[in-house]
Amino acid sequence: MGPLRIPAGNPHVAIPAGDYNFLGYSARFSSNARRKIAGNGTLTWGDFYNGGRKALVGGVTFKPGYHLTWNLTYDRNQVALPNGSFTTHLFRTRFTYAVTPRSFVNAFIQYNADTHHVSSNIRFNWTHHPLSDIYLVYNDTRDTLTGQVRERAFIVKLTNLFSF
């Protein structure tokens, strides 16, 4: 088994195969999720293979009305290893809109500052009867440096409950 290669950061870091012990700590906070505006965060620190890692995740959720929820999240990892250090940044947003009690539109968009990729997942879900759904899904990944599409898919999924 070869080394684990972590492509994020500069320089790219390789972790030799072997056994590692991990010890980590975390502190979390969150406000009342039932409010129109809510926040949460987590601070984590500890061992990462043969080095250390500090991570910060923070998010805010907006619920301006009964049908709409919007969430923004920032994720930062700072890793220090004997053969290199790097910091990663990830930005995420999620929208959920309830068109009716049986149909929803969900959109998840993520930007990875290290790979310069924007990924999106947009899904329409309609429950045509209990435990039976139709999903229309669009997935897309783009390189923000070149503007080129790296991956794209349109998916239709049908689930149906049969009673015997």
Measured distance CA(90)–CA(128) in Å, rounded:
36
- Three-state DSSP class for residue 102: coil
Helix (H) or strand (E) holding 45: strand 37-48
Confidence of residue 11 (pLDDT cuts 50, 70, 90): low
Record the pTM: 0.83
First-to-final CA distance of the chain: 50
Q: Which of 31, 21, 151, 7 is nearest to 88 (CA)?
A: 7
CB 21 within 8 A of CB 48: no
Fold designation for 4-158: Porin (2.40.160)
CB 144 within 8 A of CB 109: no
**88-125: pLDDT as tens digits:** 899 999 999 999 999 999 999 999 998 899 999 999 99
pLDDT at residue 6 tops 60 = yes
**71-87: pLDDT as tens digits:** 999 999 999 988 888 88
Q: What is the pLDDT of residue 9?
A: 55
Q: How crowded is the C-beta side of 64, counted as CA atoms within 13 Å?
A: 6
Measured distance CA(95)–CA(86) in Å, rounded:
30
Q: Where are the domains of the chain?
A: 4-158
